[in-house]
Amino acid sequence: MVTRRTLGVLVALAIGAAAFGSTGQALAQDKPTVALIPGLTTDAFYITMHKGAQAAADELGAELIFQGGPEFNPTVQVPVLQAVIARQPDVILIAPTDKQQLIAPLRQAVDAGVKVITVDTFIDDGMYQDGAGEGDFPLSYIASDNVLGGRMAGEALGKAIGGTGKVYVSNVKPGISTTDQREEGFKAAMADFPDVEVLETQFNDNDANKAAAQVQAVFARNPDLAGVFGANLFSAIGAADGVKALGKTGEIRVVAFDTPARIVDDLKSGLIDIAIAQHPYDIGYEGVKAAVAVINGETVETSIGTGFTVMDAGNIDDPDVQARIYSE
Ligand code: T6T
């Protein structure tokens, strides 16, 4: 006799048989699976991106894996990528931590049948699917326009210092698409300020403490230092901390890229003049949307741009502006 209990067991066995092949190996899940590999996990920018990605995954019925390393560094990111490839998601969304060093490891993903889309940063020249270059195989690039963002920062800093004086870029390290492009845009904007001298870029390895110490060292050599552009979250926090430690708030002007929560106080106190918020939530959301489209056999744009919100002391209390402060 088939009792209620044995029926339950039979149903459970049937579900088990559907989920596992005769070898006991897991079969592909019904749900599309998307993996998001950030530049590093403990950065408010990527934490916010994760939220947007999760929102899209929930809406579209996709499974989202979020796996990353503790540092923005290809040596740390490549093993994470290899572990994710072994999990065989349908699509990998990744913020590659170096333009060149991630090309070959990402090629391995494609060879393993996993589709690749890059978010925030790109590999190679960032022009995908054009048949040119070793790294044209990702299907799409979803990000801010970083040259434009750097240009906006340059214009803001040039104006803040009255079009004259010495400035420098506090940057992470060469070879990262986003921060390289921000510096490029910043320097292009400075061409409109002939009386501004752009000093040598200081590279801080994504370490805010190092960036702060560099402000003090540059100031020691250039007591007439007028401004610093912090080209990402850690560079900007370090630049602000360095200026504060010198007691030069409002005298050495700071323009920040990225907007973690503490930016609010720094804008209000005049430590930072302007902060350029990216829209990482949208990058994550659009990333998963594009991934699911690809899984459904649709073609996606090879380049999808997201916007900016420029924050200053005058608008920082607006709810629309507050909404663009990154999550922690
Ligand atoms: O500025 C973002 C990101 O766009 C960049 O690629 C790396 O740094 C951040 O994550 C901020 O820390």
164 and 132 in a common domain: no
Residue 29's pLDDT band (boundaries 50, 70, 90)? low
Nearest CA to ligand 1 atom 6: 178
184 and 248 in a common domain: yes
92 and 82 in a common domain: yes
pLDDT of 125 over the 60 cut: yes
89 and 116 in a common domain: yes
Q: Which region, left, alpha or beta, applies to residue 113 given φ > 0 means left and ψ of -120 to 50 means alpha?
A: left
Nearest CA to ligand 1 atom 7: 232
Q: Write the pLDDT tens digit of every residue in 194-252.
A: 999 999 999 999 999 999 999 999 999 999 999 999 999 999 999 999 999 999 999 99
Nearest CA to ligand 1 atom 2: 232
72 CA: nearest ligand 1 atom: 7
144 CA: nearest ligand 1 atom: 4
pLDDT of 21 over the 50 cut: no
Does some domain include residue 117? yes
Query: Distance of CA 88 to CAs 80, 108, 113, 251, 275, Å?
Result: 13, 12, 8, 53, 39
Does some domain include residue 22? no
Residues with CB under 6 Å of ligand 1 are 39, 43, 45, 120-121, 178, 232-234, 257-258, 278
**Percent of the chain residues past pLDDT 70, beyond the cut:** 91
pLDDT of residue 30: 81
Residue 98 is classified by DSSP as S
Domain that holds residue 170: 146-278
What is the domain-level CATH number for residue 77? 3.40.50.2300
298 and 197 in a common domain: no
Does some domain include residue 47? yes
Counting runs of H as helices and runs of E as strands, what totals does the chain give? Answer: 11, 13
- Quick check: 123 and 178 in contact, CB under 8 A? no
Mean pLDDT of 146-165: 98
Does some domain include residue 312? no
Helix (H) or strand (E) holding 80: helix 74-86
121 and 105 in a common domain: yes
Alpha helices of 175-306 — where are they, by DSSP H? 177-190, 208-221, 233-245, 263-269, 280-295
Rg (CA), the chain: 23
pTM of the model: 0.91
157 and 132 in a common domain: no
150 and 274 in a common domain: yes
Backbone angles phi and psi of 208, in degrees to 5: -60, -35
Nearest CA to ligand 1 atom 1: 232
Pocket test for ligand 1, best of 179, 235, 262, 282 (most atoms within 8 A of CB): 179
131 and 165 in a common domain: no
Q: Give CA–CA dist 139/117, Å, rounded.
A: 5
Ligand 1 centroid distance, CA of 237 (Å): 12
Q: How many domains does the chain have?
A: 2
Q: Write the pLDDT tens digit of every residue in 282-304.
A: 999 999 999 999 999 999 999 99
Does some domain include residue 11? no
285 and 274 in a common domain: no
pLDDT of residue 191: 97
Residue type, 20: F
Nearest CA to ligand 1 atom 8: 232
Ligand 1 centroid distance, CA of 116 (Å): 20
pLDDT of residue 19: 33
Pick the closest to residue 41 from 80, 2, 3, 14 (CA basis): 80
206 CA: nearest ligand 1 atom: 12
222 and 293 in a common domain: no
Q: Write the pLDDT tens digit of every residue in 166-182.
A: 999 999 999 999 999 99
152 and 242 in a common domain: yes
pLDDT of residue 36: 99
